[in-house]
Amino acid sequence: MTAIANGRKAGAHDPFRITRRGLMLVLSSPSGAGKSSIAREILETDPEVEMSVSVTTRPRRPGEVDGRDYHFIDATDFNLMVNRDELLEHAKVFGNYYGTPRKPVMDALAEGRDVLFDIDWQGTQQLTERTADDLVRIFILPPSTAELERRLQTRAQDPPDVVAQRMAKAADEMSHYLEYDWVIVNRSLADSVDQVRAILTSERLRRRRQTGLSDFVKGLREGR
């Protein structure tokens, strides 16, 4: 696919690329709005983006892989990580604890790679307080309530009582769209993915993120 080829050409290891600091791309949405599908597509097609793998005390679901989907840990280890300040943010969601390990994120940003976060509004608020300059926040809305319910039901990963619980929470969660920089209504996966790519392209070009610019311009002015 050309998108991959182009991405590689301009990738983090391209010696001609202007050095930049990576950014933190946060995707939040109510359950079932399509955030995970969008994230998967971006990760598969953009080699400069990597996923932040959260720790969670939630039990692993069939099909989930430890270390890929989440690091599945118990409450004791979770508290240990909180106390050692090893989490960039953490929150309780649907009765389980979730948190973002700090070190992989910091390493990626310093190396000019972008990190994608699938976290809720509570985590986003904490990141806004701590790492605002690196943050790009996108909120995904469903096209309608009926469509949201349909997606939650056909996903078939959760029992009906959990679906009902998530629908009830959706209205609450959606009120947080005001705390995000960009809002996408997910009518079609392909369009939403294109829109996220457009945001990524723009945000990467921000002057403050292009840390190699002064050297580059110096070279230009010296005729190199």
Ligand X SMILES: Nc1nc2c(ncn2[C@@H]2O[C@H](COP(=O)(O)OP(=O)(O)OP(=O)(O)O)[C@@H](O)[C@H]2O)c(=O)[nH]1
CB of 157 to ligand X, least distance (A): 6
Q: Is residue 186 within 8 Å of residue 143, measured between CB atoms?
A: yes
Q: d(Cα 43, Cα 22) in Å, to the nearest integer?
A: 15
- Where does the chain show beta strands of DSSP type E? 24-28, 49-51, 55-56, 71-72, 87-93, 96-101, 114-118, 135-141, 182-185
Closer CB to Mg ion, residue 36 or residue 165? 36
Residues binding ligand X: number (CB under 6 A): 18
Q: Does 122 bind ligand X (CB under 6 A)?
A: yes
Site for ligand X in 46-85 (CB under 6 A): 54, 58
Closer CB to ligand X, residue 120 or residue 209? 120
Q: Which residues contact 33 (CB under 8 A, 6 or more apart)?
A: 140, 141, 142, 148, 151, 186
Closer CB to ligand X, residue 9 or residue 92? 92
Q: Does 125 bind Mg ion (CB under 5 A)?
A: no
Hey, is 109 helix, strand or coil? helix
What is the 8-class DSSP label of residue 60?
P
Residue identified by tokens 């050409």 is 9
- Return the residue of 120, 136, 137, 140 that touches ligand X, per CB under 6 A: 120
Q: Does 36 bind Mg ion (CB under 5 A)?
A: yes
Which residues of this chain interact with ligand X, rule CB under 6 A? 31-32, 35-36, 54, 58, 89, 91, 93-94, 98-100, 118-120, 122-123
Which residues of this chain interact with Mg ion, rule CB under 5 A? 36
